[in-house]
Structure 1
Amino acid sequence: MSSTTTTTSDTELIVSWHEMSLQINCYFSIFLFVFGIIGNILNIFVLLQKSLRLNPCAWLFLISSFANIIVILSGLSTRIISNWTIDLTDTIGWLCRFRVFILYTSRTIATWLILLASIDRWLLSSLNAHYRKFSTLKEVQRGTILIMIFSIITYLPIFYCYEANLINTPLKCYSKTILCRIFIDQSYICVTILFPLILMFLFGFMTMSNVRKSKYRVQSPLLSRINCHDHRQRHFKLIDRHLLIMLLVQISFLALLTLPQAIQQIYSTITRNQIKTSLHIQIENSIYSFVILLTYLASGIPFYIYTLCGGCVFQEAFFILMRRIKRIIICQQK
């Protein structure tokens, strides 16, 4: 009698967890899709403004916004579709592999571009003039090409490892063998999450150290003269300072929203050989689904971070964009 009661209780809990997971996956996915696409599109238009587009760090933010749009489209669109109809990426092998490859590659590109931005801020803040010379648009463009090539090569094994219509896996489109699962999951954890985050925080601390040291440098009296050149220098320094703040806040949110997936995947790998109940598996799958959604929040949130933390520089560019859009709408209505 007790065994029957326990089994019935577990079944009810499994159904509850499954229903809750479906509801979160449905409505939160739609919210993140709209929230992320609008935010990244606005980001692109704002960062294309004349006052920002030639700045190396702003240029990296711009390209990462394109990468984030690809992440959201390739990842969330199929999740939303699966709530109403069959998700073809779960049933067609080549489509499954192509979608995961695009998703992982674009997410890695977006993350490493933020790392490159943190390196650029460190170079620019350095007291060594030789290092500061590397903080140029040309250098970050070269770095972006290398990051794209590196990301593509890293996830080419997906075309061998992933398969559709799998059972007893967190997703139907997943790694087909244990070795593939360990390799792809650990590559993702290290290359896309842990390694770049560690370097981001390292260069972030080094940049703040450079900024503190620069305050104690002796300034020549000639540099205190107010002229047109000095005004332009102060304007560019203001942009650089706000870009640094935006970068540091984004790195913090990136860590907060992506580390749970890394922790979950490490736990899943460690406990893969343990015998688990149906309830335990359902809970793990629900948690896995939720932490994945958090990574899409990381891809959609940059614009809102920049707006709140970008100071007058980003906000002014945003308001200029809004005024231009307003003028275009008024002209079309006439």
Structure 2
Amino acid sequence: MLDIDISEILDHISTQVNRYFSTFIFLFGTIGNLLNCLVLSQPSLRSNPCAFYFLISSIANIISITCGLPSRILSGWNMDITNTNALLCKIRAFMMFVSRSIAFWLVAFAAIDRCLLSSNQCQRRQFSSLKNAQQGTIVIIILSLCFYCQVLYCYDANMISAPLHCYGKTVTCRLVTDLTYALVTILCPLLIMCIFGLMTLSNIRRIHSHRLSQSELIETSENNRKKLKSTNLQTRKRKRIDRHLRHVLFIQIIFSTILTIPQGIEKLYTTLTMNQMKSSLNITIDKFIYNFVLLLTYLASGMPFYIYTLCGGNTFRNGLMELFKTK
């Protein structure tokens, strides 16, 4: 009797979360990413390779949110068509997986770009260019489409013994999809973000120590300072933008790790234990946890604009103000 009561409570909480928390994330994330696209498209930012990665990542986040969250909202009222329509189920899952993979990998590429730009070797810094960013984006889009093409076969509607009714139809399908998602979409990009983020910090410390040693050994004459002044003024804005982009990238990596790792772990757990006998309470608990960590990943997709605005210094705030003044 107690198990039934707990199951009913969890089902009720899950329904309310899908109705209202999903709606909040949908509005919060869609508006934020749209503003991101408008700000990052401005002339002062769009030529920056890191800003370009953020721009395309924001577009991918919009696709992920608009493909995934409406079904979560409708499921709160038992009106989710993807639960019963196989074609819509496949298309929704495919678009959601591909767009989320693109968004995560582009942030990882942005971390690599910041690492290259902070290097004290000129040859490495030259790899940080808009052309390379565009080519890298095309490669990521193609690979993401290839990695998840199996979803069009594997996913099906009316799945009863799965966390969602729209889910993988066989054990092999679930294992392949969940491992691909956990490793390719979440763990590998996060690992790259962390590694290159630490390398960037190391490069920055090395550059600062090098500048300090130079300032102790070399005294610049007044005439040379005047000659360098105009060059410094021209490059100061670009360096400030690079610094702000690096800052928000680190903050985004932290939040992405916190909000997405739980789903990767949960998906692996669900797939590896799918053949075990479970009580109705355990099944309800698994579904509740799955729904909750799933929404956390959508929250991660909706947060970049607010991270950029709050933590990105005057670069993003000024861009946002200019956007409002123009409109």
Q: TM-score, normalised by structure 1?
A: 0.92
Q: Is 1:262–2:255 an aligned residue pair?
A: no
1:65-80 residue pairs with structure 2 within 5 A? 65-80=58-73
Aligned-residue offset at 1:196 = 0.7
Deviations 1:127-175 (A, max 9, x none): 1110101100000000000000000000001111111111111111100
Q: Which residue of 2 aligns with 1:198?
A: 191
* 1:312 alignment partner AA: N
* 1:285 alignment partner AA: K
Measured in 1, the distance between the counterparts of 2:87 and 2:180 equals 21
Aligned-residue offset at 1:216 = 2.0
Aligned-residue offset at 1:184 = 0.4
Deviations 1:212-233 (A, max 9, x none): 1011223673875453321111
Measured in 1, the distance between the counterparts of 2:308 and 2:245 equals 8
Q: Is 1:20–2:22 an aligned residue pair?
A: no
Q: Which residue of 1 aligns with 2:162?
A: 169
Structure 2: gaps of 5 or more residues: none
Q: Is 1:284–2:286 an aligned residue pair?
A: yes
* Count, aligned residues: 318
1:194-233 residue pairs with structure 2 within 5 A? 194-217=187-210, 218=214, 221=220, 224-225=225-226, 226-233=228-235
* 2:66 alignment partner AA: L
Aligned-residue offset at 1:313 = 1.3
* 2:287 alignment partner AA: N
Q: Which residue of 2 aligns with 1:114?
A: 107
Q: Is 1:92–2:94 an aligned residue pair?
A: no
Describe the SS at the equivalent of 2:140.
helix
- Note closer, same or farther for the CA distance 1:231–1:102 as it changes in structure 2 (3 Å cut): same
Aligned-residue offset at 1:297 = 0.3
1:311 alignment partner, one of 310, 313, 320: 313
Aligned-residue offset at 1:85 = 5.4
Deviant stretches of 4+, over 6 Å? none
- CA RMSD in angstroms comes to 1.4
1:232-251 residue pairs with structure 2 within 5 A? 232-251=234-253
Contact 2:16 2:76 in 1 (8 A): no
1:145-164 residue pairs with structure 2 within 5 A? 145-164=138-157
* 1:112 alignment partner AA: W
* 1:117 alignment partner AA: A
Aligned-residue offset at 1:266 = 2.2
1:31-42 residue pairs with structure 2 within 5 A? 31-42=24-35
Describe the SS at the equivalent of 1:227.
helix
Structure 1: gaps of 5 or more residues: 1-7, 326-334
Describe the SS at the equivalent of 2:43.
coil
Measured in 1, the distance between the counterparts of 2:104 and 2:186 equals 8
Contact 2:19 2:77 in 1 (8 A): no
Measured in 2, the distance between the counterparts of 1:208 and 1:87 equals 46
- Note closer, same or farther for the CA distance 1:241–1:96 as it changes in structure 2 (3 Å cut): same
Measured in 2, the distance between the counterparts of 1:193 and 1:9 equals 37
* 1:260 alignment partner AA: P
Measured in 2, the distance between the counterparts of 1:85 and 1:268 equals 23
Deviations 1:225-259 (A, max 9, x none): 45332111111111101100000000100000000
Contact 2:19 2:74 in 1 (8 A): no
Q: Which residue of 1 aligns with 2:49?
A: 56
Aligned-residue offset at 1:45 = 0.9
Measured in 1, the distance between the counterparts of 2:187 and 2:198 equals 17
Describe the SS at the equivalent of 2:163.
coil
Taking only the aligned residue pairs, the percentage that are identical comes to 49
Contact 2:156 2:166 in 1 (8 A): yes
Q: Which residue of 2 aligns with 1:30?
A: 23
- Note closer, same or farther for the CA distance 1:240–1:192 as it changes in structure 2 (3 Å cut): same
Measured in 1, the distance between the counterparts of 2:225 and 2:242 equals 20
Q: Which residue of 2 aligns with 1:331?
A: none
